[in-house]
Amino acid sequence: MTYERLRLDAASRNIAGANRPIASGEPATLWRPDPVAGLAEREAAARLSHEPGHPLADADGMVRYPAVDMVDEMTTLMTASRAYEANVRAFNLLRSMLMRALEIGAK
């Protein structure tokens, strides 16, 4: 369940940061789930957008943004959400079975 939650958080952060411009010299980063460290940043490709009036535009008028694959991130959100829900249902079912076993054993 914890890993599915990490997947949800990473995909949410990647989607939220997709339109955040990257300053010159700063690497483009995306979030990824890490079972040991929680969420970890990793370097990623940047996409370029021609916006000559933007304060972060380079000499050619190009602004860098993280190259977030929205389809992949939305798919991750959906599958992680469904897996989390399935884990919660399985946990609740196990708990009810154990409670029922305790009731039977008490009689």
pLDDT digits 0-9 by tens, 7-33? 999 999 999 999 999 988 889 999 999
Please state the domain extents for the chain.
2-106
Instruction: Give pTM, 2 decimals.
Output: 0.79
- Count Cβ atoms below 10 Å from residue 33 Cβ, excluding itself: 20
